[in-house]
């Protein structure tokens, strides 16, 4: 939207300054509609890059976050929103998959330890029966 603000020329008889013209002057003001700021998810991408970089998804999310920030600085809000949306999806995928892998590893470790403890217990019982039976 453009608004024109009309300025009334000053009365040259009251002011001795002769630089003003007697015709009407106007100024054009461009008003941009209020749009929410674009979130580039840069901190989340940095965190995922360093701590939850599952299959390099954290790195790719960081690249898209930086692209989003660059588009925002240039003034391309739609491009920044597109890159930020991609960075958000990649961050979600990296976080979920990294947590899932971490949980699976913890379960595997506990199951392995349980199996080893069961094997050791059975081996000790077998050894005590074989030692006790030979006396």
Which of these, 47, 45, 38, lies nearest to 62 by C-alpha position? 45
Least confident of 14-23, 75-84, 126-135: 14-23
pLDDT surpasses 90 at 118? yes
Work out the average pLDDT over 94-122: 95
Sorted by where each begins, the domain ranges of the chain are: 36-133
| Mean of the per-residue pLDDT values of the chain | 83
* pTM listed for this prediction: 0.65
Residue whose pair of structure tokens reads 């940095």 in the numeric block: 46
């Amino acid at each position: 939207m453009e608004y024109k603000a009309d300025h009334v020329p000053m009365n040259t008889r009251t002011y001795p300054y002769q630089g003003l013209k007697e015709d009407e002057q106007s100024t054009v003001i461009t008003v941009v509609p209020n749009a929410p700021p674009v979130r580039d998810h840069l901190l989340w991408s940095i965190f995922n890059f360093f701590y939850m970089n599952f299959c390099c998804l954290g790195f790719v999310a960081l690249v898209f976050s930086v692209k989003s920030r660059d588009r925002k600085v240039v003034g391309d809000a739609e491009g920044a929103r597109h890159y930020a949306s991609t960075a958000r999806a990649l961050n979600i995928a990296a976080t979920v998959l990294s947590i899932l892998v971490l949980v699976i590893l913890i379960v595997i470790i506990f199951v392995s330890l349980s199996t080893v403890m069961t094997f050791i217990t059975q081996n000790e019982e077998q050894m005590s029966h074989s030692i006790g039976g030979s006396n």
